Structure 1
Amino acid sequence: MYYVNQEQIERRLKAIPEIAEGLRTAAQSWDGGLVLGLVQERGLHLAIEVVTDVGSYLIDGFIMRDASSYEDIMDINHEEKVFPQEVHTVLLELVRLRKPLVQDYYEWDRHTLHPLTAALPDVLEQFAENVRHYLQNEMY
Structure 2
Amino acid sequence: MNREQIAVRLDTIPDIATTMQSLAANWQGTMLEGLAQERALHLAIETVTDVGSFLIDGFIMRDASSYEDIIEITGEEGVFPSDMLETLTELVKLRKPLVQDYFKWQRSDLHPLTVTLAAVMPAFKLAVEQYLEREL
User: Normalising to structure 2: TM-score of the pair?
Assistant: 0.99
| 3-state DSSP of counterpart to 1:113 | coil
3-state SS of 2:28 partner: coil
Question: Is residue 101 of structure 1 aligned with residue 98 of structure 2?
Answer: yes
Match of 1:82, SS? coil
Stretches of structure 2 that go unaligned for 5 or more consecutive residues are: none
Q: Identity over aligned residues, as a percent? A: 58
- Cα-to-partner distance string for 1:66-88 (whole Å, 9 max, x where unaligned): 00000000000000010111111
Pairs aligned (count): 136
Query: How many angstroms apart in 1 are the aligned matches of 2:18 and 2:32?
Result: 15
Please report the RMSD computed on the Cα atoms of aligned residues, expressed in angstroms. Answer: 0.5
- Tell me which residue corresponds to 1:53: 50
1:85-139, Cα deviation, whole Å (9 max, x unpaired): 1111110000000000000000000000100001101100010000000000000
Q: Post-superposition, which runs of at least 4 consecutive aligned residues in structure 1 deviate over 6 A?
A: none
Q: How does 1:34-73 map to 2 (within 5 A)?
A: 34-73=31-70
TM-score for the superposition, normalised by structure 1: 0.96
Q: Structure 2 CA distance, aligned partners of 1:121 and 1:60?
A: 27
Paired with 1:21 and 1:81, the residues of 2 have a C-alpha distance of: 26
